[in-house]
């Protein structure tokens, strides 16, 4: 599944979407950046409540398919600008991480 297909299926908001054709390969839930760097895998979605520019740096480092900001949190403007420059997809939703992850599991993501 691509990020674009995910956005359409789960009604996610695209905050920065420079490369919505990226393929998704699993997901990682967490807010501690060092854990994400150590344990998330290339092609994963990252569900988090953090919206600062370091999130973009981690997404680049790990080569994530997209970052999904949950619980209706907002990204900082500098994070959005950096994501657009660097090709990182930033999405958001009102759903909680667990509820969204359960939806992903039901859809075999």
Domains, the chain, in order of start with CATH, read 3-104 (3.40.1390.20)
Confidence (pLDDT) at 37: 98
DSSP notation for 5-49: HHHHHHTPEEEE-TTTTPBP--EEE-S-HHHHHHH--TT-EEEES
Confidence (pLDDT) at 67: 99
Confidence (pLDDT) at 107: 87
Q: Render each residue's pLDDT in the chain as its tens digit; 109 residues.
A: 999 999 999 999 999 999 999 999 999 999 999 999 999 999 999 999 999 999 999 999 999 999 999 999 999 999 999 999 999 999 999 999 999 999 999 988 8
């Amino acid at each position: 599944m691509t990020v674009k297909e995910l956005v359409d299926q789960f009604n996610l908001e695209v905050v920065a979407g420079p490369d919505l054709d990226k393929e998704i390969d699993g997901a990682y839930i967490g807010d501690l950046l060092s854990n994400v760097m150590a344990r998330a895998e290339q092609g994963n979605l990252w569900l988090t409540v953090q919206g600062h520019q370091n999130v973009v740096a981690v997404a680049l480092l790990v080569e994530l398919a997209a970052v999904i900001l949950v619980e209706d949190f907002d990204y900082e403007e500098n994070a959005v600008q950096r994501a657009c420059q660097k090709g990182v997809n930033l999405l958001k939703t009102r759903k909680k991480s667990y509820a969204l992850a359960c939806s992903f599991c039901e859809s075999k993501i």
